[in-house]
Copies of this chain bind each other. A is one copy, B any other.
Amino acid sequence: MDKEAPHAEDTETKILHAAEKEFLEKGYAGARTATIAEAAGVTHAMLHYYFRTKDKLFERIITEKMTLLGDIVLGAFGDSSLPLAERIRQGVEQHFDFIAANPSLPRFIINEVYAHPERLRIMETSVQGIASRLLGGLQSEIDESAARGLSRPADALMLLVDIISLNLFPVMAAPIVGSIIGGTYESYDAFLAARKQENVETILKKLNIH
């Protein structure tokens, strides 16, 4: 009826959405432009008409996804208005939920950055900016809490690596971990829910926070 009908995407957007799915699932090397075009419901010439090359289309997707991943980390742990224990609990949970909702994202970024480290250099200053802002704030809060005897001292960078490590693996390696847990849990989602709480507790125990 009007300007914001969610149903009819234009061709460019349809291609972008199809490309996102294909690249995230199969990576650059495994993705096929013909498959993207078909999934978008357009001829594959249109893909080249709008984006020239597979490379340029890929660049669009990966830049967007790298930015998203950085923003999520900042968004999850950046809120300094809460007491440390709450800030960390919420941060771990928010980060976990986002990863669980976007399960191929970490694998995608890790693979493509490994294959072409120069892609990282484009984001490097932005990544380092986010990291130093976040880590600076978090570190001083950890220090303050430790000085008051409310928790153990800790290195904010190490803590962040702990959290990301713990949150990523069960999602990235879902098929393998799923095969190991077998029927122990009702579903893999049930395992993930348990895992989220386990990760929160692992981090809080590490900090020995009161």
Q: Are B107 and A111 in contact (CB under 8 A)?
A: yes
A179 in contact with B120 (CB, 8 Å): yes
Would you call A190 an interface residue if the criterion is a C-beta within 8 Å of the partner chain's C-beta atoms? no
Q: How far is the CB of A183 from chain B (nearest CB, A)?
A: 10
Q: Which residues of B contact A46 (CB under 8 A)?
A: none
Taking CB atoms, residues of chain B closer than 8 Å to A26 are: 29, 115
Copies in the complex: 2
**Which one of A34-42, A86-94, A158-166 contacts B?**
A158-166
Cα–Cα, bound, A182→B136 (Å): 14
Binary interface encoding of chain A residues 172-207 relative to chain B, with 1 for a CB under 8 A from any of its CBs, else 0: 110111011110100000000011001001100110
Which residues 107-145 in A have Cβ within 8 Å of B in the complex? 107, 109-111, 113-115, 117, 120, 124, 127-128, 131
Distance to closest chain B CB from A192 (angstroms): 11
By a CB distance below 8 angstroms, the chain B residues around A113 are 173, 175-176
Interface residues on A, range: 35 or more
Q: Which B residue's beta carbon lies closest to that of A160?
A: B180
Is A168 interfacial (CB-CB < 8 Å)? yes
- The reply to whether the CB of A169 lies closer than 8 angstroms to some CB of chain B is yes
A sample of 27 cross-chain residue pairs with beta-carbon separation below 8 angstroms, ordered by A number, consists of A27-B111, A29-B29, A29-B30, A30-B30, A107-B111, A109-B176, A110-B176, A113-B173, A113-B176, A114-B175, A117-B175, A124-B179, A127-B180, A128-B180, A128-B182, A157-B184, A158-B195, A161-B177, A164-B169, A165-B166, A165-B169, A165-B170, A166-B166, A201-B206, A202-B206, A205-B205, A205-B206
Q: CB within 8 Å of B: which residues of A?
A: 26-30, 104, 107, 109-111, 113-115, 117, 120, 124, 127-128, 131, 157-158, 161-162, 164-166, 168-170, 172-173, 175-177, 179-182, 184, 194-195, 198, 201-202, 205-206, 208
